[in-house]
């Protein structure tokens, strides 16, 4: 179900240890968590004159499951005190399989969390070790089973492919195992190595390999083939839902320029034509809020031209594509005329197609979505 109501993202910037491929902002100084919760409460209150209500909440990280139930309760109390939360809100929390238990899941449900994103990444212990994850496959299976036992009926599993030492048949095995738990949502990300991460350093020294472009496409198509065969909807480049109602309502806001508020270090917000983001350093974030300053690192105001281009390329990451009528209402121009050169090139290369008033990516187009903007 689509909504134009804003979404709320809360970043929990702590991890017990850093994974070898991770470039997300997080730190390992868990002793800062209590001070962080107090500070986050203040930031939650700051924005109550800007945003009044939300129909999605997403706790991401970092590792939100490092927080105790008491700490999560403090966050939710602050949110509910400052904002109207839709009674049917989608409330998601990312959890690490190594941190959770049946009791913890029971308590999350009581807090109102109704959707989990479990960071499984792989069911192969060698691959988990290679990635530097601190959990193993047994913990992943327990986490899935415990979440079900507790009563979660909307769980997502995150997986990674294109890993050194992983071939297509190993990847297929991982997908099939994931399918055996019938999760409502599956995200499959291709491993990408950002400069500065430990795995990138190994890659730069040629100690490990990444699949060549042709092989990467094979991983992508195998993923889609297997998941579609099992009835999942490939609704965004990396995301699959068992039914329409299980598509991530929160993430769809990012792709459709719906307003969102991001709180915590490095979190991004978007409202109207303005995007702003917080400082990424936890200590600076804590210090600025303690001095009653907004911890905003930068703001950009998007021109109509920038908004149109973003709408085009974000829309082409989703299977639904771009609603041409809605585009015209938003920007006062016909997309097919306004961006004729780009769209002709995309159609010619069979990356997109026009169907029922929508401009949609083809499967080939989705496979190369990250490079479409360069065409």
Which residues of the shown chain bind ligand SF4 in the complex (CB under 6 A)?
Answer: 15, 18-19, 22, 24, 26, 61-63, 96
Cβ neighbours of residue 104 closer than 8 Å, sequence gap 6 or more: 65, 69
Residue 277 Cβ vs ligand SF4, minimum distance, rounded to whole Å: 17
Phi, psi values for residue 327, rounded to 5°: -60, -45
Lookup: tokens for 49: 């004159």
Residue 212 Cβ vs ligand SF4, minimum distance, rounded to whole Å: 25
Residue 135: which of 149, 148, 118 has the closest Cα? 118
Residue 184 Cβ vs ligand SF4, minimum distance, rounded to whole Å: 21
Measured from the CB atom, the residue of 20 and 365 that comes closer to ligand SF4 is 20
> What residues pair up with 8 in beta bridges, in sequence order?
57, 261
Measured from the CB atom, the residue of 5 and 279 that comes closer to ligand SF4 is 279
Residue 36 Cβ vs ligand SF4, minimum distance, rounded to whole Å: 15
Measured from the CB atom, the residue of 18 and 164 that comes closer to ligand SF4 is 18
Measured from the CB atom, the residue of 18 and 148 that comes closer to ligand SF4 is 18
Residue 301 Cβ vs ligand SF4, minimum distance, rounded to whole Å: 30
Place of tokens 């190369």: 368
Measured from the CB atom, the residue of 28 and 334 that comes closer to ligand SF4 is 28
- Please answer whether residues 150 and 131 qualify as being in contact, where contact means their C-beta atoms are separated by less than 8 angstroms: no
CA distance 298 to 295: 9
Q: What is the DSSP letter of 318?
A: B
Measured from the CB atom, the residue of 121 and 154 that comes closer to ligand SF4 is 121
CA distance 95 to 190: 20
Measured from the CB atom, the residue of 18 and 363 that comes closer to ligand SF4 is 18
Residue 47 Cβ vs ligand SF4, minimum distance, rounded to whole Å: 24
Measured from the CB atom, the residue of 123 and 235 that comes closer to ligand SF4 is 123
Residue 26 Cβ vs ligand SF4, minimum distance, rounded to whole Å: 5
Measured from the CB atom, the residue of 96 and 238 that comes closer to ligand SF4 is 96
- Please answer whether residues 143 and 117 qualify as being in contact, where contact means their C-beta atoms are separated by less than 8 angstroms: no
- Please answer whether residues 26 and 65 qualify as being in contact, where contact means their C-beta atoms are separated by less than 8 angstroms: no
| Helices (H), ranges, the chain | 33-46, 69-82, 102-111, 125-131, 137-150, 168-180, 198-204, 213-229, 249-255, 282-290, 304-315, 324-331, 335-338, 340-348, 363-367, 369-372
Residue 261 Cβ vs ligand SF4, minimum distance, rounded to whole Å: 21
Residue 81 Cβ vs ligand SF4, minimum distance, rounded to whole Å: 28
Residue 167 Cβ vs ligand SF4, minimum distance, rounded to whole Å: 23
- Please answer whether residues 346 and 365 qualify as being in contact, where contact means their C-beta atoms are separated by less than 8 angstroms: yes
When CB distances to ligand SF4 are compared, the closest residue is: 22
CA distance 26 to 14: 5
CA distance 254 to 235: 14
Lookup: tokens for 165: 């030492």
Lookup: tokens for 81: 């005190």
CA distance 326 to 331: 9
End-to-end CA gap in the chain? 32
Measured from the CB atom, the residue of 98 and 259 that comes closer to ligand SF4 is 98
């Amino acid at each position: 179900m689509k909504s134009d109501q804003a979404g709320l993202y809360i970043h929990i910037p702590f991890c017990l240890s850093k994974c070898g491929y991770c470039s997300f902002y997080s730190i390992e100084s868990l002793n800062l968590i209590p001070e962080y919760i107090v500070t986050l409460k203040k930031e939650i209150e700051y924005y109550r004159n800007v945003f009044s209500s939300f129909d999605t909440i997403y706790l991401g990280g970092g590792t939100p499951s490092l927080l105790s139930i008491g700490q999560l309760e403090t966050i939710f109390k602050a949110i509910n005190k400052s904002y109207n939360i839709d009674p049917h809100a989608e409330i998601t929390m990312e959890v690490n399989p190594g941190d959770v238990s049946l009791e913890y899941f029971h308590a999350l449900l009581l807090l109102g969390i109704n959707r989990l994103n479990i960071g499984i990444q792989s069911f192969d212990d060698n691959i988990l070790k290679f990635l530097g994850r601190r959990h193993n496959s047994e913990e992943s299976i327990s986490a899935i089973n415990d979440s079900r036992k507790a009563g979660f009926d909307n769980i997502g599993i995150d997986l990674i492919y294109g890993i050194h030492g992983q071939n297509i048949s190993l990847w297929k095995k991982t997908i099939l195992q994931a399918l055996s738990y019938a999760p409502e949502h599956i995200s499959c990300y291709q491993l990408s190595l950002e400069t500065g991460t430990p795995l990138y350093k190994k890659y730069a020294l040629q100690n490990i390999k990444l699949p060549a472009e042709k092989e990467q496409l094979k991983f992508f198509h195998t993923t889609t083939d297997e998941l579609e065969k099992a009835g999942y909807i490939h609704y965004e480049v990396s995301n699959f839902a068992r039914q329409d109602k299980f598509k991530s309502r929160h993430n769809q806001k990012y792709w459709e320029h719906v307003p969102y508020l991001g709180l915590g270090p490095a979190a991004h917000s978007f409202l109207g034509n303005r995007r702003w983001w917080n400082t990424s350093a936890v200590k600076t974030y804590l210090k600025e809020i303690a001095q009653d300053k907004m911890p905003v690192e930068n703001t950009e105001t998007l021109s109509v031209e920038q908004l149109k281009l973003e709408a085009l390329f974000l829309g082409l990451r989703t299977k639904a594509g771009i609603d041409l009528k809605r585009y015209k209402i938003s920007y006062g121009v016909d997309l097919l005329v306004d961006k004729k050169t780009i769209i002709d090139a995309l159609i010619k290369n069979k990356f997109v197609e026009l169907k029922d008033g929508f401009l949609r990516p083809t499967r080939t187009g989705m496979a190369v979505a990250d490079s479409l903007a360069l065409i």
